[in-house]
């Protein structure tokens, strides 16, 4: 889309070094592919809930092999602060300082000395995203160094680009639009079936999350008994 090229070109006129917040999902992989030819240095920032999951590391290795100029850095997800403070599936730590995405962006800017940061958010992601991104339209979807080249893309556009440029489909834990790692049954079932070793790593950090699959199995067992 022309709006994407305008956003990227505007940043390229200012610098040859940028950051990309890369979740390794469809949107961020498409955005990485879009911006890669235009910049000499791209720092990809992946925010994790549990570090060192094998199925995630395989995608990190794939990205570094396909795009050798990138630097890939992994940092704790800002949402972890809310999980740790509230004690969701772990022992609560009320002293945990709550963070937002902007705090992570500012920390990465300070560490790497890079101002411009690309994010793969789209208007089609929901009403709040739509309202936010509409406010940046007159400035080529850029706001204080935060750049959103995919703002006008739809999921159909994303899938068409991936097919045209032969990008592989990332991990899909379930059928929902939001498809990252999280404390939900779709994700835990996928991990148990495909990467049980990663599930054990999650249990080590969040031991009480074992309850997710236990409750699921117990419910299915009770329903089977009732049908018998």
pTM of the model: 0.90
For 136-183, the DSSP string reads TGGGTSEETTEE-TTTT--HHHHHHHHHHTTPPP----SSSS--SS-S
Q: Indicate if the alpha-carbon torsion angle 129, 131, 21, 204 is positive or negative.
A: negative
Report the topology of domain 2-171: Rossmann fold (3.40.50)
Torsion of CA 221, 188, 179, 84, to 10 degrees: 120
Q: Is the pLDDT of residue 173 over 90?
A: no
Element containing residue 26 per DSSP (H, E): helix 26-35
Distance CA 83, CA 64 (A): 30
Nearby residues of 166 by Cβ (< 8 Å), 6 or more positions away: none
Torsion of CA 1, 17, 76, 52, to 10 degrees: 90
Quote the tokens at residue 58: 């395989």
Q: Is the pLDDT of residue 117 over 80?
A: yes
Q: What is the pLDDT of residues 144-159, one digit of tens each?
A: 999 999 999 999 999 9
Q: What is the pLDDT of residues 177-221, one digit of tens each?
A: 556 788 999 999 999 999 999 999 999 999 999 999 999 999 887
Q: Percentage of the chain surpassing pLDDT 70?
A: 95
By C-alpha distance, which of 14, 11, 31 is closest to 23? 31
Quote the tokens at residue 157: 């556009």
Q: What is the pLDDT of residue 180?
A: 74
* Domain extent listing, the chain: 2-171, 173-228
CB 18 within 8 A of CB 41: yes
């Amino acid at each position: 889309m022309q709006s994407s090229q305008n956003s990227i070109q505007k940043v390229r006129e200012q610098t040859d070094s940028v950051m990309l917040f890369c979740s390794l999902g469809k949107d961020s992989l498409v955005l990485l592919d879009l911006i890669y030819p235009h910049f000499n240095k791209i720092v990809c920032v992946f925010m994790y809930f549990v570090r060192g999951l094998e199925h995630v590391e395989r995608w990190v290795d794939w990205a570094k092999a396909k795009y050798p100029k990138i630097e890939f850095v992994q940092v704790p997800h800002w949402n972890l602060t809310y999980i740790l403070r509230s004690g969701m599936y772990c022992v609560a730590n009320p002293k945990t300082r709550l963070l937002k995405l902007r705090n992570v962006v500012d920390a990465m800017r300070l560490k790497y000395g890079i101002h411009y940061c690309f994010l793969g958010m789209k208007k089609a992601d929901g009403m709040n995203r739509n309202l936010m991104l509409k406010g940046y339209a007159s400035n080529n979807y850029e706001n204080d160094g935060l750049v959103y080249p995919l703002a006008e893309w739809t999921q159909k556009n994303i899938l068409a680009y991936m097919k045209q440029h032969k990008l592989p489909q990332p991990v899909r834990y379930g059928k929902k639009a939001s498809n990252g790692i999280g404390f939900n049954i779709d994700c835990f079932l996928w991990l148990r079936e495909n990467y049980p070793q990663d599930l054990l790593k999650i249990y080590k950090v969040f031991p009480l999350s074992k309850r997710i699959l236990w409750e699921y199995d117990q419910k299915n067992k009770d329903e089977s008994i009732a049908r018998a």
